Amino acid sequence: MGLGGSSGYGRGMTSEPSGGQHVAPRKDDGSYLSLIDGVRGLAAMAILFYHYVHFFMPGPSRQAPPGAQDVYPAHEQFWLLYDHGYLAVQVFWLISGFVFSHVYHGQSASTRSFVVNRLARLYPLHILTLAVVCLLQWIALERLGYTPIYGKFDLVHFIPHLFLASAWWTEGGGYSFNGPVWSVSAEVVIYALFWQLRGLVARGGLPLVLAIVLGFYLAHHYFGDYSPVFACGFYFFTGSGLSLLWQSRSAGGRPLAAIIVGLAAFGLAGAFGGSDWALRYLALPGLCGALFLLLAAAERRAPGGLRRVCQWLGENTYGVYLWHFPLQLCAMLLMMPSVYPGEIASNGWFLAAYLLVVATVARVSFVWFERPLRDIIRRRFSGGRQAGKVGAP
């Protein structure tokens, strides 16, 4: 997926054996999209800037004071990330669709292996961070009388989180517990739909994918207030369509370079369109589409050092995304109630320390918790059968 998945299991790779031993991706043939993995990692870092506002909204109103952005450290240099970092979620979804189609289109894999791979990658860290947030929010409730940033600290909202279903519908409104996991929750629904439609997509190709994208756009337009799943579907299947373009290497006789230029022009037109709609539905798909195709084409020629850095960033993505709020909450509880967190967070050294701590915790989490537990689950529940000709992201 865009967050918990990895483009490290690409087309043409050997599958994970029934024993569950991880097979390293072949990085020399372009099957592993390390450069796109790096984009995913950078997008996760953008979320850290966008959610930096949490340090300035610790009170029971859960609102930042007017002018808080004026004291963000290095705001002039990072204003794009502070102000528009929320678009990183849509980038995650686009990457998910691109990678999943890259991995599974035209390939065979069992439903069991698909489900096991997804659960093994997503669920352990989700449950761990959910437990940590519950503990921290209980401490906050005892010390402060409320839970900072996200409210609704109750069983009714906890149960959907337990099953990664917190964002399937928006009745009741608002975020709760480890709030950022909402985008993962929305995406698991689209995973299931992608898997059910993969045969039809293989037969219908790009025209069918475009029809699905249009359907999700209309559903989001009319029913988006009820669930973010429709927006996720729009971006995911847009990414899937971009992947089909890449796999064909040309469309209607037009070479890949022409497609990249066309997508870039489409995206730039949206970027200068001056509206949030143009930014979301023209600029983001167009510019990201051009970037993904360019990076996929450059994969084999990229220096080994760059690919290793991108792989490192990609591996940290899920940890960065799920750990950053618990770490923010922990820092706030260490300061409150005697110190207003915004006073400390307005310093450049604190921003640097925050980014470093989140990246470090994410890396430790991946190496010592996520990856080992993922491999154990895959070995335990693989069913003694091959997962197919490709591994799962």
Residue 355 to residues 242, 324, 379, 392: CA-CA distances in angstroms? Answer: 32, 9, 34, 30
What DSSP element (H or E) covers 249? none
* pLDDT score of 173: 57
Asked if residues 286 and 267 have their Cβ atoms less than 8 Å apart, the reply is yes
* pLDDT score of 370: 96
What's the predicted TM-score (pTM) here? 0.89
Instruction: Name the DSSP letter for residue 73.
Output: T
What DSSP element (H or E) covers 250? strand 250-251
Answer whether residue 156 is part of any domain: yes
Bond prior to 337 in cis (omega within 30° of 0): yes
* pLDDT score of 385: 43
Asked if residues 208 and 194 have their Cβ atoms less than 8 Å apart, the reply is no
The dihedral through the CA atoms of 56, 60, 61, 66 has a sign that is: negative
* pLDDT score of 104: 85
Instruction: Name the DSSP letter for residue 181.
Output: G
* pLDDT score of 171: 56
Q: With b meaning 16 or more CB within 10 Å and e meaning fewer, what string describes 21-31?
A: eeeebebeebb
Farthest CA pair distance, the chain: 67
Give the tens place of pLDDT for each residue, 325-334: 999 999 999 9
Answer whether residue 95 is part of any domain: yes
- Split into its structural domains, the chain has a count of 1
* pLDDT score of 17: 27
Write down the residue that tokens 């990664």 correspond to. Answer: 164
Answer whether residue 274 is part of any domain: yes
**DSSP structure string for 100-130:** HHHHHTT--B-HHHHHHHHHHHHHHHHHHHH
Answer whether residue 179 is part of any domain: yes
Answer whether residue 11 is part of any domain: no
Answer whether residue 21 is part of any domain: no
* pLDDT score of 132: 97
- Domain hosting 249: range is 34-56+77-381
Q: Is 62 helix (H, G, I), strand (E, B) or coil?
A: coil
* pLDDT score of 151: 87
* pLDDT score of 323: 97
Answer whether residue 364 is part of any domain: yes
Amino acid 331 reads: A
Residues 6+ apart with CB under 8 A from 335: 341, 344
**Regions of the chain with pLDDT less than 50:** 1, 6-30, 384-392
Answer whether residue 23 is part of any domain: no
- Rg of the chain over all Cα atoms, to the nearest angstrom: 21
Asked if residues 107 and 11 have their Cβ atoms less than 8 Å apart, the reply is yes
- Decide: residue 113, CB within 10 A, 0-12 exposed, 13-18 middle, 19+ buried: buried
Write down the residue that tokens 């409210």 correspond to. Answer: 151
Phi/psi of residue 388, each to 5°?
125, -175
| Among candidate residues 226, 218, 187, 204, the one with its CA nearest the CA of residue 281 | 218
* pLDDT score of 15: 31
